[in-house]
Amino acid sequence: MPTDYLDISVPISPDMLVWSTHERVSIDTDESIYAGERNRVTALRLTTHTGTHVDAPYHFVENGLTADQLGLDILIGSAAVYDFRGRTAITAELLTRAGVGSVPRLLLRTGNSQWIRTGPLPAVPAHLTEDAAHYLIDKGIRLVGIDGLTVDAPDTVVAHSALLRAGVILLETLDLSQVEPGDYELICLPLRIAGVDGAPARAVLRPR
């Protein structure tokens, strides 16, 4: 990959950080001899929301789009990275002061990037508030990414619910620790798994 691309995906491994209620990753490699050659086939077990992943509307909406139905025009295109390090609750007021809304894909760099690869998960990670979610909907944002396991505060799904019901795609568990605020091109390609609520993704940025 050319050096001007920034890989913002978290590598998938058995010791990676996952949501407490989700199954942990297992990777089992079978090494065998076939046609006189040694070959390996790896069995991978994980949830659709493991590591860097996309949430499709079907995650919360009964008849919403599934992961394989998401348009590439949403997943690829101009994006803006905003720096909210030092903030826990990202509110509509903070988004307004930062000038969020001119670019259809928003990536939130927060203090979450410090632990997203290694843990431990803090009691209250940086997250969007409900009024922030409605602000983004009103601004016509099409995709929201964050460097945490979820866009929501613990024990709530208000941001998830509002954004996905409005057709806004979520990109979670990013590693933005090496990404400066600014304008980029986002290329996000979730696995094309038919009929599911989300999918692991490889996501990269190219400075604009």
81 and 109 Cβ atoms separated by less than 8 Å: yes
In a 10 Å sphere around its CB, with 0-12 CB exposed, 13-18 middle and 19+ buried, how is residue 59 labelled?
buried
Helix (H, G, I), strand (E, B) or coil at 113: helix
Tens-digit pLDDT profile for residues 153-188 = 999 999 999 999 999 999 999 999 999 999 999 999
201 and 54 Cβ atoms separated by less than 8 Å: yes
Distance of alpha carbon 153 from alpha carbon 18, whole angstroms? 16
Q: Identify whether 1 is part of a domain.
A: no
pLDDT at site 32:
87
Q: Where are the alpha helices (DSSP H) in the chain?
A: 72-75, 92-98, 130-138, 158-165
Q: Identify whether 22 is part of a domain.
A: no
Q: Identify whether 138 is part of a domain.
A: yes
Judged against a pLDDT cut of 80, whether residue 119 lies above it is answered with: yes
Q: Averaged over 13-34, what is the pLDDT?
A: 87
Q: Identify whether 32 is part of a domain.
A: no
- Give yes or no: 59 in active site: yes
Q: Identify whether 16 is part of a domain.
A: no
Q: Which of 53, 59, 127, 160 is catalytic?
A: 59
Print the domain residue range for 68. Answer: 6-11+47-207
Q: Identify whether 65 is part of a domain.
A: yes
**At which residue do the structure tokens 């599934």 appear?**
66
pLDDT at site 33:
81
pLDDT at site 2:
47
Overall domain count for the chain: 1
Q: Identify whether 188 is part of a domain.
A: yes
Q: Identify whether 186 is part of a domain.
A: yes
Judged against a pLDDT cut of 70, whether residue 192 lies above it is answered with: yes
Question: 149 Cβ partners below 8 Å, 6+ apart?
Answer: 17, 18, 19, 116, 121, 125, 172, 173
Q: Please report, for residues 39, 105, 120, 178, the alpha-carbon distance to residue 111 in angstroms, rounded to integers and kept in the order given.
A: 42, 20, 13, 12
Question: 37 Cβ partners below 8 Å, 6+ apart?
Answer: none
Q: Averaged over 44-62, what is the pLDDT?
A: 96
CA–centroid distance for 87 within its chain: 19
CATH at 162: 3.50.30.50
